[in-house]
Amino acid sequence: MPGERALALVVASAFLMEQLDSTVLTTALPAMAGSFQVNPLHMSIALTAYLVSLTAFIPASGRLADWFGGRRVFCIALTLFTVSSVLCSHAETLWTLVAARFVQGVGGAMMVPVGRLVLLRTVPKARVVSAMAWVLMPTMVAPILGPLVGGFLVTYFSWHWIFYINIPIGIAGVAAALALFPDQRLQRSERFDMTGLLISALALSLFVIGLECLNWGVFDRIYALVLLGGSVACGFVYARHARRSPHPILDFTLTRIATFGIAMWGGTLFRIGIGAVPFLLPMMLQLGFGLSALRSGLLTFSSGVAALVVKATTVQILRRVGYRNAMIWNSVFASLFLALCAFFRPGWPVALLYGVLLLGGFVRSLQFNALGTIAFADVPQNRMSAATSLHSVVQQVSGTAGISISAAILAGAVLLRGHSRPELSDFSVSFLSIAAISAFSAPYCMRLARDAGAELSGQRTS
């Protein structure tokens, strides 16, 4: 249905802005450090500021959409993200950039979960899989495309242009949302869980900052562990609060819904493993193979191309084999392809490298599409906003954890082997480790009922 496809593409524009913005920025950090005349290591705070505000404000997105309407909140969030992108491009100091990035994170926290919520409430279940395949495509393409775009803009123009590219996408997204989005809102009488929001925001912020400190080595490791410990303590405080609150801002009772709980916990393990790929693979190709940033970007781009192929086959595969079988075998195959990356060596034919990355990208994309839809298969409409908020928080945190865990494994391998810099054998250890983490998602998928998600996929169960 053209209207549903157009709606999905509007939501996809928000995903694209968020994903592309984060990946192109990492390429531009050295040039930005020179412009601000600061140590390049200090530029990591611009990444952390965005992640903190993004993660902290996601829990409020669903409730705001219920009260003020999904179309209104989505358009405001998209506008905020676009305007703050302009402010980032005009930043003259590191701290003005950090402030603008924090505001940008608030916009990102609202636009992606709310866009997904509008789609889930609008599109009939039988066509959700096809629509979500369009929406989730940027999550595979942007991390691969980002370094290419960022490297081109910084090399031939200036770092300011990495933020300018958000302007046309944002303007077009707002115009399309005003024209296509229905004016949905739910009448809610309960009070907003401000206490829960503050506690969860503190817990999530400490967790993200702690992981970033481990990842970037900004502070001594002891400070990072203190931050992570504080996050765990705040998590226990929130759990106690949530048990007493009738309407907690993050409602973990949703995990009692079988499809949602399995997709969330199994998906977390899968995303931790897969989230490490955009970090490990380009670094291995550059440090271990001696490739330039452009050549490594062209090679890793092949796994992003797979997302385009999956779009055309997702519905057919799920209809033929069902969610349970598809997710079990995809978990296994995706983990095997991750493990195979551990054995990449400069002597391998380029065509073989492309083939492995393309096939690996295909199964990963299919699993992302399956996880992104089965999670909401059995969620009632009156709990859909809470489900999208919780799902988005877990998705964001697991992706961040994937990068940090893989970086810690790589650093540990370098230290134990006495290397001065990461070598191919160290990357092999890292890839095998994250492949093992990803593989543990398969047992969760086995818990799915054989007819799980049949209404979404059109699978014949008789």
- Please spell the DSSP secondary structure of 437-451, one letter per residue: HHHTHHHHHTTS-TT
pLDDT top residue among 155 and 311: 155
| pLDDT of 322 above 80 | yes
The Cβ-side half-sphere exposure at 451, using a 13 Å CA radius, reads 4
Nearest Cα neighbor of 111 from 135, 138, 75, 140 is 75
What is the DSSP secondary-structure string of 230-283?
Answer: HHHHHHHHHHHHHHH-SS-SS-GGGGGSHHHHHHHHHHHHHHHHHTTHHHHHHH
CA distance 189 to 197: 18
Check residue 399 and report its DSSP letter.
H
Instruction: Look at residue 240 in the predicted model and tell me its pLDDT.
Output: 93
Torsions phi, psi of 318, nearest 5? Answer: -65, -35
Give the chain's mean pLDDT: 83
| pLDDT attached to residue 207 | 87
- Flag whether pLDDT at 340 surpasses 60: yes
Residue 459 has pLDDT above 70, yes or no: no
Q: Which long-range contacts (CB under 8 A, 24 or more apart) does 219-227 make?
A: none
Say how far apart CA 5 and CA 10 lie, in whole Å.
9
Contacts (Cβ under 8 Å, ≥6 apart) of 143: 19, 23, 277, 278, 304
406 with 280: CB under 8 angstroms? Answer: yes
Tokens coding 2: 């053209």
pLDDT confidence band for 1 (50 / 70 / 90) = very low
3-class DSSP assignment, residue 349: coil
Rounded CA separation 375/448 (Å): 11
Question: In this structure, what token pair is assigned to residue 241?
Answer: 């609060």
Give the integer Cα–Cα distance in Å for 436 and 445: 16
Please tell me the predicted confidence (pLDDT) of residue 231: 92
Confidence band, pLDDT 50/70/90 cuts, at residue 300? confident
* Nearest alpha-carbon partner for 360 in 381, 331, 389, 397: 331
State residue 2's pLDDT score.
Answer: 46
Please, how many CA atoms are within 13 Å of residue 365, restricted to the half-sphere of its CB? 34
**pLDDT above 90 as % of the chain:** 19
Structure confidence by residue, pLDDT tens digits, 20-65: 777 777 667 777 778 888 766 567 677 778 888 888 888 888 888 8
What is each CA distance from 136 to 131, 141, 244, in whole angstroms? 9, 9, 35
Q: What is the CA radius of gyration of the chain?
A: 21
pLDDT at 440: 92
Predicted confidence at residue 303, as pLDDT, reads 66
pLDDT at 389: 86
In this prediction, residues 327-344 reach a mean pLDDT of 91
Question: pLDDT tens-digit profile of 76-129?
Answer: 999 999 999 999 999 888 889 989 999 999 998 888 888 888 888 888 877 777
